[in-house]
Amino acid sequence: MIGQVYLCCVPVDFRKQIDGLAALVQGELALDVFGNALFVFVNRQRSRIKILYWHRNGFCLWQKRLEKERFAWPSPGPHTTVTLSPKELEWLLEGFDLWANYPHKTLNYQSVM
């Protein structure tokens, strides 16, 4: 079961592998790299994503490369990370722009008449 999903808003050098990304998570992002979380990184062109996570006794590194499109990505602001749900990560990987589309507004009625 996936816990948190952390997106690193700042593009990273994709020559970094497990050790470099783990050091970035622990040092610059100040997050627990050994926790129940996925850490998601994008390259400068936004054509590749890497996901780093700890699984029982070692790190796993997953990568997706797009051939023509680009991943939607939040602009780096005051925060270096954005937290997503596992479902939102799935949508991101499928190509949806999570920052341009919003769900329907919640309506709060007091009566039916």
Measured CA to CA, the distance from residue 21 to residue 52 in angstroms comes to: 7
Strand, helix or coil for residue 87? helix
Contact between 38 and 93 under an 8 Å Cβ cutoff? The reply is: no
Measured CA to CA, the distance from residue 6 to residue 110 in angstroms comes to: 38
Cα–chain center distance at 10? 11
pLDDT truncated to tens, each residue of the chain (113 aa)? 678 999 999 999 999 999 999 999 999 899 999 999 999 999 999 999 999 999 999 999 999 999 998 998 888 777 789 999 999 899 889 888 887 766 667 778 888 87
pTM given for the model: 0.84
Structure token pair of residue 91:
């949508």
Contacts (Cβ under 8 Å, ≥6 apart) of 21: 12, 39, 41, 50, 52, 61
